[in-house]
Structure 1
Amino acid sequence: MATSEFASVRYVVDDVQAAVDFYTEHLGFSLRGNAVPAFAEVTAGHLRLLLSGPASSGARATPEDVAGAGRNRIHLTVDDLDAEIERLRGDGLSFRSEVVSGPGGRQILLADPAGNLIELFQPAS
């Protein structure tokens, strides 16, 4: 798996711009890149907070029957999603969603032994 200087967490939000304004104006986060209606990325220290609106692939990837409050999960970026799926299935793990593709890339969800969701994400090339 690829590593990054940031720990990433995805929050599903109703209004991306309102969320960006809240985190940047009230909590000291910095906007990375540009906010778009479907998605924005803000950082603070080593935390990268992914703000996914209803139209983003990240929001659509969470089936209602596996979602807890807020549909939050750990977001891990991978270089080759298909290879990771094959490797993890080979280890006996099962997934909680199908692969979902969107403007930012592709992702799939699995759960840890306690049921916490983990998103494996491969950015679009």
Structure 2
Amino acid sequence: MTTPSEYASVRYLVDDVPAAIDFYTRHLGFTLHTNPAPAFADVIRGSLRLLLSGPASSGARATPADTTGPGGNRIHLIVSDLDAESARLRDAGVAFRSHPVSGPGGRQILLADPAGNLIELFQPATHRHASASAT
């Protein structure tokens, strides 16, 4: 069982650590956890610890070509109102990588941080109880 002091950590390689800190803390509700050197910082939102590794960090070392996947990796942030959150971010100058997409689980839209890492904003669908919709 995970305790509140444990985090799920994701590493993103970024070109500019201060710009990444600013983006995640200003626009997406993260708080700065540590910034021990200009090469690295980590920010926290809920139980997510996002490791921001700049070009001089050990995390930015190249990995063998055969270990990389087909892409599409991204962090997934749940929002209560996708339209309002999208409008707020657009007004702040954030560019989106997709239009809103709807599916059986809810709606989503993709944006990218300053280094091009993907972030999915996701609004879960509101489902009725099974007993109310049994057919």
Into which bin does the TM-score normalised by the smaller protein fall? Answer: 0.3 to 0.5
Normalising by structure 1, report the TM-score: 0.48
Q: Name the larger-Rg structure.
A: 2
Normalising by structure 2, report the TM-score: 0.45
